């Protein structure tokens, strides 16, 4: 796997600040992958590519999604904020010829999460919150949690996203609900067992 090759390609597709973010997410993904036993090369690749289409216009994103044979739900169609994760996973397949399902899925679900997240999904989801360039209120809390438990950090990230969306009266993706419910149930079960 040659990340430099992909870095050069995506640096042409985005402003310097987003390219920097992509490199930071890749770096944080590598750190988390080493810590939690995920595939380090895949983590770096998915980190570099996760926002590949974030600056791509809507019609082009839709075309990538169609070319990859992905069917959007009505809610996804109505939520442009969700498009770049989906079109990013389409882009790496149809334009870059990447066939690794784990990398494709980690990009596809990096914003929403989902039920049944793989280890790589979790690493990319959390790295996008905790990368060096992030400075939102609450980031240090998620960083601290990520140092102790990847699952707890995923749950924290999902609850952060859901609270933020709910406060702004925006829709919450069903994948986020499903992921949150699964992780919250897992947490409740493990707390019960620890008693």
- Interface residue list for Fe ion (CB under 5 A): 51, 128
Nearer to Fe ion, 60 or 189 (CB): 60
Q: What minimum distance in Å lies between the beta carbon of 9 and Fe ion?
A: 17
**Quick count: other Cβ atoms within 10 Å of Cβ 134?**
18
Q: What minimum distance in Å lies between the beta carbon of 72 and Fe ion?
A: 17
Nearer to Fe ion, 39 or 51 (CB): 51
Show the tokens assigned to 6: 């992909």
User: Where would I find the H helices in the chain?
Assistant: 3-11, 16-36, 40-49, 58-67, 74-77, 80-94, 101-108, 119-130, 139-148, 150-167, 174-194
Nearer to Fe ion, 118 or 187 (CB): 118
Residue 50 to residue 86: CA distance in whole angstroms: 10
Nearer to Fe ion, 22 or 93 (CB): 22
CA 154 vs CA 40, 55, 60, 119: distances in Å = 18, 25, 30, 11
Alpha-carbon dihedral angle through residues 163, 167, 170, 175, given to the nearest 10 degrees = 10
Nearer to Fe ion, 51 or 121 (CB): 51
Q: What minimum distance in Å lies between the beta carbon of 22 and Fe ion?
A: 7
Q: What minimum distance in Å lies between the beta carbon of 57 and Fe ion?
A: 16
Q: What minimum distance in Å lies between the beta carbon of 16 and Fe ion?
A: 15
Show the tokens assigned to 85: 């994760």
Name residue, tokens 């992921």.
179
């Amino acid at each position: 796997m040659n990340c430099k090759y992909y870095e050069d390609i995506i640096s042409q597709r985005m402003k310097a600040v987003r390219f920097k973010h992509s490199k930071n997410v890749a770096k944080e993904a590598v750190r988390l992958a080493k810590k939690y036993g995920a595939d380090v090369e895949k983590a770096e690749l998915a980190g570099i590519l996760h926002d590949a289409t974030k600056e791509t216009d809507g019609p082009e994103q839709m075309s990538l999604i169609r070319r990859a044979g992905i069917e959007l739900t009505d809610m996804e169609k109505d939520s442009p904020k969700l498009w770049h994760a989906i079109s990013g996973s389409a882009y790496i397949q149809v334009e870059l010829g990447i066939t690794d399902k784990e990398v494709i899925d980690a990009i596809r679900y990096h914003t929403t999460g989902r039920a049944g997240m793989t280890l790589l999904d979790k690493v990319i989801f959390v790295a996008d919150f905790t990368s060096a360039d992030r400075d939102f209120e609450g980031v240090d809390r998620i960083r601290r949690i990520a140092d102790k438990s990847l699952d707890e950090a995923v749950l924290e990230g999902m609850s952060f996203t859901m609270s933020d969306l709910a406060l702004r009266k925006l829709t919450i993706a069903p994948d986020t609900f499903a992921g949150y419910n699964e992780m919250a149930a897992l947490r409740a079960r493990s707390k019960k067992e620890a008693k």
